[in-house]
Structure formats: structure tokens, C-alpha cells
Amino acid sequence: MAVIDPIVQGILLGGLYALFATGLSMIFGVMRLVNLAHGDLSILAAFLALVTVRVTGLNPLLSLALVVPAMFCLGFLLQRGVLNFTLGRGVLPPVLATFGFSIIIQNLLLEAFSADSQRLNPGGIETASIALGDRLAIGWFPLITFVVAVLVLVGLQIFVSRTSLGRAFRATSDDQDAAELMGINNRSLYGLAMAISLGIVAVAGVFLGIRTTFVPSSGPDRLLFAFEAVIIGGLGSLWGTLAGGVILGVAQTIGAKLSPGWGVLTGHLVFLAVLLWRPTGLFAGAMKRSR
Amino acid sequence: MSLLSVRELAAFYGDFQALFGITLRIDAGETVAVIGSNGAGKTTFLKAIAGLLPVHSEAVRFAEQPVGGRPAHELVALGIVMVPEGRRIFPSLSVEENLKVGAYGKRRGPWSLRRVYDLFPILAERADQPGTTLSGGEQQMLAIGRALMANPRLLLFDEISLGLAPVMVRNIYHAMSAIISGGTTALVVEQDVSQVLQVADRVYCFRKGRVSLEGRPADLSREQISAAYFGV
């Protein structure tokens, strides 16, 4: 049981990492844009939930009904208003622009909420658990997180493989000019892609805020874990992203089990090992093959 | 009435001028060929018409509207659709999905998945394969079928015989005749003159970014064409 417990907890934690990573991976796939503000935008969503809870008294889980649409709209505006203008001029402009957004978001949050750590309180569910035998228990909340992550990925998979818009996403990802020649308006498609990406990362941010405390500067850590999950799983593969998140989560919980300070470090080491062994990730292109 | 009329079209890649005042018209129902050697400006010309290059808005008029410089996706909605050079099949999409992407703009018209499959039965057999697993000639059929799915009023063919075996080139041109006889207006750009002169109503020869010859294939001698083509 001593081995099983961290593995189970790690798998569930991986669901959260996959939620962080999915949008990042999708944006890179569709428009070759590396969104360095991805982590900060998730923290922004957590603070939005905090404000919603304070103002309306809603449960933070229910606040998702407001926070997700808000982040969806923000993503659309951010892409159409700013990021679209940075595309097509090399790799640097979008990286600089999103890095700038990262700094702006962190400082605005610091200004508005101070550096105090915050937490979203969903009223008991975050500590409730199901006992499986004497020494193993699964928390309700990590389980919900994992299930939500899987549902989001299933939804995204159906969207990408079955709908006309999803086909357009893949076509644009393959060849932007050819997609444009087929009547696809890439720029408006990018707006939608960023909106979906931020809608998903909003869920991740709120779940993070329920699971643990957060401060305005928590974003970059989240971005790093998301990158690691994407790269372990392999770019362009939705299920690879989940697997990447799970591998990272298991590595961290096992590391933390060995010594409390080793969790994050072990995650990084596993990430580096994958990078050395299979630089394209473990499941690269699986989405393309399975279709 | 001209469906497409191009007047004094100039096009640039940065500081480099590739087209110097091209004037050309295509009437509805006509098939027009643009021939010329490598670097004559043929592909640039097609890109300019298809909306992939910035050009002056009055330089290109389609159905009496100025359309020069409008983005490609808007031109597709108007009915200007291109079969791009090199086919540009989407590798992560199956054959059928590639065709469906062609219908993304939901333009109404005679073409449907079924009619494209009737024209190219091999595509129906390979419907579920990834598009790029097809042979070169089959990919060319797929690229043509994908463009037809957009129900074009003006279909632009860019170097469709490039890199194909002669028998496949004949197949492709046979299919093209079927498409043209259905009433689609076509602009065919080719380096290989022999096939294209058989399908074209009129031909323009480009050299160094200018029109060096124009006329009906029957009225032009071989010597005239090679003089205009090579500039000798």
C-alpha cells in the first residue's frame, strides 16, 4: 500500500496538470504560439473565482459558471485584439507579447489582492475522501478533478475529430495558407482557439485554488508544470497530454513520499529524462495517427 | 461579360517586383491558360488573384466588384477557389475530411461529396485513409475535389501536372475537361504547354512578369509560342 498510495494520488494530480497543459498544447498546435502568460491567466481565473465567491456567496465550484465564460471571452479578445497582430513575423513577437502579459497580470493581481495567499473554500468537499481499505483513501476532490480533466479531453477530442470547426482547427494546424485557400479565416479561428484554451485553464485555475493556496505570482510554476506535461506527453496529442500530466504527477508524489522536499525536483528529473530519451515526447502525433 | 478582369496588376515580394502591369480577362464559362517558364510570374499572379499577396483593390475585379488584396477566405466565399501548387493536402486529415474542409464555407452549388466521388471513384475507395498516403496523382485528384467542394465560380489550377507521370497527367486533364464542360470557369497555370493548349479557349504567355503573348491556341503558331515563352 505504501507504493500504491502515492501512485494513485499522483495519477489524480496528473488530471489537474493535464487541465493546465491542454490549452497550452492546443494553442501551440493550432497557431504555433507559445503562451507564456498561460499560468498567470489560470491564476487570474482563480482570483476571479475568489471575487465571485466574495460578492455572490456562491460555492467556488459553481463560480465556474461565471469564470469560465469570462475567461473564454477574455481569450477571444486577447487573441483578436493583440496576439493576432504578433503572428506571422517570426517566433519572437508572440513570445514577447505573452511574456509582457504575464508580468502585467502578476502585478495587477498583486496591486489588487496583495501578496497574501488565498484559497477557495468549496465547503468541505476538498477534505472528504473515500476509504479504499485500511491505508488507502482517495480524496473526492482530486477524483472530481481527474474526471473533469478526462471529460474535457473527451469533449475536445470529439470537437476536433467530428465537427466542421474541429476539422478546420486541424487543417490550419497542418498548413495555414492552404487552410486560408479553403475559405477558413485563420484569424477568427485563432480567436476561438484562445477562447477555448482560456476556458479550460480557468477550470484548472479554480481547481488549483480549491486544492491549495495561491498568490499572484503562482502562475509561472503552473506554466512550467504545464510545459513539462505537454513535452512528456508529446506535442499535438490530447491523450498524450493527460499521460504527461499523470507521469509528472506520479513522479512528484513519489518524490515527495521519499522526502518532502523532493516532489517538484523528481518531477523535473523525470521530465529531463524524457527529454533525453525521447525528445519528441512519449506519444507525439498520436492524435494525428488515431484521428 | 468578364467574370474576372485584371488591369495593370503589379505585385511585389518586399522590394522585389514580380509582376509588371498584367492585364487579363476571363469570361464566364471560359478556360484560360497562363503559360510561361519558371520564374515568369505565373504562380505570383495566381497568388495575387487568390488573395495571398497584397495588391491594389481595383487591379482585380471579380463579377464587377473590386476584390484585389482581399484575404483568401473572403475570395473563397465569393467563389474564387485555388488548387494550389504542390497539392497541399492536410496530412492529419483523412481523404474524406480533406474534402469536407473544402466545403467549410458552405457555398451553395452543384458539387457535393457524392459528385466528387463520382468524378474520382478512387477517392471514395480511400475515403478513410490519411490524405497524404495517396499517390501523387491521387493527391492531385483530392486537391481538385477539395476545391470543387467549395463550389467555385472560378477555379484556379496551379501547375497541376508538376511531378506526375504522363498517364496521370492525361487522367487529370480528362477530369478537368469534365469539370469545365459542367460550366465552371477555369484559369490553368502550367509550365507544360502541350496538355494545356488542348483544353484552353485562350492562352496568355508570361515572361519576366509581363504578358508576352495572348490569343487563341488555334491562331498561334508553335514559333510564336516558343518565342514568347523563351524570349528568343
Give the 3-state secondary structure of residue A232: helix
Encode pLDDT of B3-35 as tens digits. 999 999 999 998 899 999 999 999 999 999 999
How much helix, strand and coil, in percent to the nearest 5, is found in chain B? 40, 25, 35
Q: Provide the shortest C-alpha distance from residue B73 to chain A (in Å).
A: 4
**Which residue out of B53, B90, B155 would a mutagenesis test of the A interface target, given it has the greatest number of A Cβ atoms within 10 Å?**
B90
pLDDT of residue A134: 79
* Domain spans, chain A: 4-114+140-290
Cell 473565482, residue? Answer: A49
A127 interface with B at CB cutoff 8 Å: no
Residues of B in contact with A180 (CB under 8 A): 51-52, 71-73
3-state secondary structure B43-90: HHHHHHHHCCCCCCHHHEEECCEECCCCCHHHHHHHCEEEECCCCCCC
pLDDT of res. B162: 87
Class of A4-114+140-290 per CATH?
Answer: mainly alpha
Out of A171, A175, A181, closest to residue B82 by CB: A181
Q: What is the pLDDT of residue A13?
A: 95
3-state SS, one letter per residue, for A123-135:
CCCCCCEEEECCC
Say how many CB pairs under 8 Å bridge A and B. Answer: 74
Q: State the complex-level ipTM.
A: 0.89
pLDDT digits (tens, 9 = 90+) for B26-73: 999 999 999 998 889 999 999 999 999 999 999 999 999 999 989 999
Between B72, B102, B146, which is nearest A180 by CB?
Answer: B72
CATH code for position B131: 3.40.50.300
pLDDT for res A3: 81
| Enclosing domain of residue B168 | 2-230
Task: Evaluate the CA torsion angle A61, A66, A67, A68 in order and state its sign.
Answer: positive
| Number of domains comprising chain B | 1
Q: Kindly determine whether residue B150 and residue A185, on different chains, have CB atoms separated by under 8 Å.
A: no
pTM, whole model, 2 decimals?
A: 0.88
Residues of B in contact with A164 (CB under 8 A): 100, 104
B187 pLDDT higher than 50 = yes
Q: Please give chain A's pLDDT, 291 residues, in tens.
A: 578 889 999 999 999 999 999 999 999 888 889 999 999 999 999 999 999 999 999 999 999 999 999 999 999 999 999 999 999 888 899 999 999 999 999 999 999 999 999 999 988 888 888 888 878 889 999 999 999 999 999 999 999 999 999 999 999 999 999 999 999 999 999 999 999 999 999 999 999 999 999 999 999 999 999 999 999 998 878 889 999 999 999 999 999 999 988 999 999 999 999 999 988 888 875 444 333
Give residue A288's pLDDT.
46
pLDDT in tens, B110-134: 999 999 999 999 999 999 999 999 9
Cβ of B73 within 8 Å of Cβ of A178? The answer is no
